[in-house]
Structure 1
Amino acid sequence: MDTVSRLIQMARLQASLDKRCLLAGTTVMDVSEYAEGEVPFHVLLDGTCTLELPGRRLELRPGDVVLLPRAEPHRIRTAGAGRAQRAVETPGETFDTIRSPAGEEMIDLFCGHYSYGSGAGTMLFRSLPDPIHVSFAESGEATEVVRMLSTIMRREAQNDGPGTAAILSYLCGALLAMVLRKSNRRPADTALWTAADDERIRGVIDVLLREPGADWSIAHLAQIAGMSRATFVRHFSHRTGMTVGAFLTHIRMMIAADLLTDTDLTVAAVAANVGYHSESAFGRAFRLASGSPPARFRRSAAA
């Protein structure tokens, strides 16, 4: 199984579409903070708008997707003619529709959230930049796929009939996979380690996910990447945003969380599976990563 698919599987993700926003003129829409275990996202199909976060503004254009792993409250603003107006929300069977009180529609924006049901999901989103802003507007195969997804999403949104919720959930899940493997390749972008665009670094990430319990050294990983030790360390940090040691620990803790949730292995066996010879050392590392000792984490997951 490839890296992105494995990560989504471990995180036990579910996608939900909450609102479709058809906004016109100068409209302001406030989005409240989401609950723990939820990551909001926005998909802009038509028009342009601004997403305002504390201390930061993102200009969105058609084909843009934004994920907010910290789930902070934020604001969507359209810049049209006239005074700023508040949007009006109409409840629907599957999702709500938000429209500006007056004016010709300027943007078509889908808003939803991903829910993750495991400690692995928590660790995954903690390791990603916030916000994640990906553009599929450039030409290429990905753009065609997003265009097809957008067409189906619009069609289902208009029908809002039997099966609509399930269909939109699967489409939003597919969209997340595309975001996690997408690299904008702009110097100003924060590294998305799931989308490392260097095949040699991707090969190292893949082998760490497959064999987290091996006795890895930087020299061995550099050999797998076909680089000198110094070059590998520099490239790895640049492509992933983490040191090699921090990344290896992160991967091990994600897989440990998955094993604690999904198997009956003892804590000692889980520790051994992810490369720890000492159960106490594993417990300290896991508590630091998840905020909970392994045994308590397992009881919470079961409950």
Structure 2
Amino acid sequence: MADAISLLKPRTVVGPNLRATGEWALRFDTFLHVRIGGLVRGTCWLILDGHEPVLLQEGDTFMLGNPPPYVLASALDASPRPAQPVLAPDDGIVRIGPESEDDSYLCVGHIAFDDSYAALLTDLLPPLVIVRAADPRGMQLGQLIALLATEVGADGAGGPLVQNHLAQVLLVHMLRAHAGQTDRPAGWLGALNEDGIGTALRAVHADVAHSWSLKELAEISHMSRSAFARTFKDHVGVPPLEYLIQWRMGLARDALTRDTLSISDLARATGYQSESAFSTAFRRVVGASPTKFRNQARKPELASPARQ
């Protein structure tokens, strides 16, 4: 999970917090990747297009994966207005209605990923995940939401850094909760909970340069080759060696974008004995040679004023 999130390069925008009383409703447009949030105090309805409305209560948290438009509202029959014009406060807090200790107090953040790798996570997520305050992980998540809400709008040193890290910690906990409350989560997220397949995945990620064979991965998983190959594909969605190639190419694309290794060094680092074998695999997966991909990644940087 740590490897995948690192490759995703999450970018977090948290807040503003919402404190509302009386009748209110805000409609949020569709957006890419992940929206995450929770209710610090009070209650409100989460109305997601195509889903049954959900009543959120104090301490509940939610995660939306590439969702359609949705509404946060005090009541199901409240008439929504667009959220975007409302969410522009100077102090990090949006207030709807008079100030009151009995208001509904929400903290919501948007986590976006590098588009090249976003499907690594977003393809695994349903549109809506709810973790109730009374669930096994609910107390931890409620505390994280409350702490994140406190940081939004606060004028403390390193505030944006703290918000970014808290949001990413919250994302990981929500992924754990989703994996725990689902019979079989999709892709590698679900496979991590399987003793044999999870062991093989961790081994591949720990040593991507190793010349892994189907036989060796099956032995690590304490399964026959045929049973391992079938079970791996059932859980992860692709055959084991195809997953290995896809992961290696994801790391290679990242390294070429950052221009941190020569192509020959990158070939060895990703388990290829020769630059030509690496280039052939890269071209098959990515659709361009490593050299062409790196040169294209350099263009925006070379065109920037700092380089002119």
TM-score range, shorter chain: 0.7 to 0.9
Say if 1:90 and 1:186 are closer, same or farther in 2 by CA, change over 3 A: closer
Say if 1:136 and 1:225 are closer, same or farther in 2 by CA, change over 3 A: farther
**Seq. identity, %:** 19
Q: Distance in 2 between matches of 1:124 and 1:247?
A: 11
- Which residue of the other structure, out of 97, 111, 116, is the alignment partner of 2:113? 116
- Aligned positions of 1:266-277 closer than 5 A: 266-276=262-272, 277=277
Q: As a proportion of its length, which structure holds more strand?
A: 1
What is the aligned length? 288
Give 1:130 deviation, angstroms. Answer: 4.7
Give 1:257 deviation, angstroms. Answer: 2.0
**Equivalent position of 2:297 in the other structure:** 298
Give 1:256 deviation, angstroms. Answer: 1.1
List gaps (5 residues or longer) in structure 2: 303-308
Say if 1:21 and 1:117 are closer, same or farther in 2 by CA, change over 3 A: same
- Aligned positions of 1:1-303 closer than 5 A: 4-23=1-20, 27-34=24-31, 39-45=33-39, 46=41, 47-53=43-49, 55-56=50-51, 59=54, 61=56, 62-68=59-65, 70=66, 73-78=68-73, 80=75, 83-86=78-81, 89=86, 91-93=88-90, 95=92, 97=94, 99=96, 107-116=104-113, 119=116, 121-122=117-118, 124-125=120-121, 127-131=123-127, 133=129, 135=131, 137-140=133-136, 142-157=137-152, 160-163=154-157, 164-182=159-177, 183-187=179-183, 190-191=185-186, 193-194=188-189, 196-276=192-272, 277-287=277-287, 294-299=293-298, 302=301
Provide Cα deviations, 1:41-71, integer angstroms capped at 9, x if missing partner. Answer: 1312253523424x45573644333142x4x
Say if 1:90 and 1:258 are closer, same or farther in 2 by CA, change over 3 A: closer
Give 1:26 deviation, angstroms. Answer: 6.2
Structure possessing the higher radius of gyration over alpha carbons: 2
CA contact (8 A) 1:18 1:111 kept: yes
Q: Secondary structure at the match of 2:129?
A: strand
* AA of the residue aligned to 1:235: T
Say if 1:230 and 1:171 are closer, same or farther in 2 by CA, change over 3 A: same
Say if 1:173 and 1:240 are closer, same or farther in 2 by CA, change over 3 A: same
Q: Distance in 1 between matches of 2:90 and 2:99?
A: 24
Give 1:214 deviation, angstroms. Answer: 2.9
Give 1:222 deviation, angstroms. Answer: 1.5
List gaps (5 residues or longer) in structure 1: none
Higher RCO, Cα 8 Å, sep 6+:
1
CA contact (8 A) 1:25 1:104 kept: no
Q: Secondary structure at the match of 1:91?
A: coil
* AA of the residue aligned to 1:91: A
Give 1:15 deviation, angstroms. Answer: 1.8
Q: Distance in 1 between matches of 2:139 and 2:47?
A: 25
Say if 1:208 and 1:217 are closer, same or farther in 2 by CA, change over 3 A: same
Q: Secondary structure at the match of 2:180?
A: coil
Provide Cα deviations, 1:106-148, integer angstroms capped at 9, x if missing partner. Answer: 75432222243584x43534553353625264543x3332232
TM-score by length of 1: 0.75
Q: State the Cα RMSD in Å.
A: 3.7
Q: Secondary structure at the match of 2:223?
A: coil
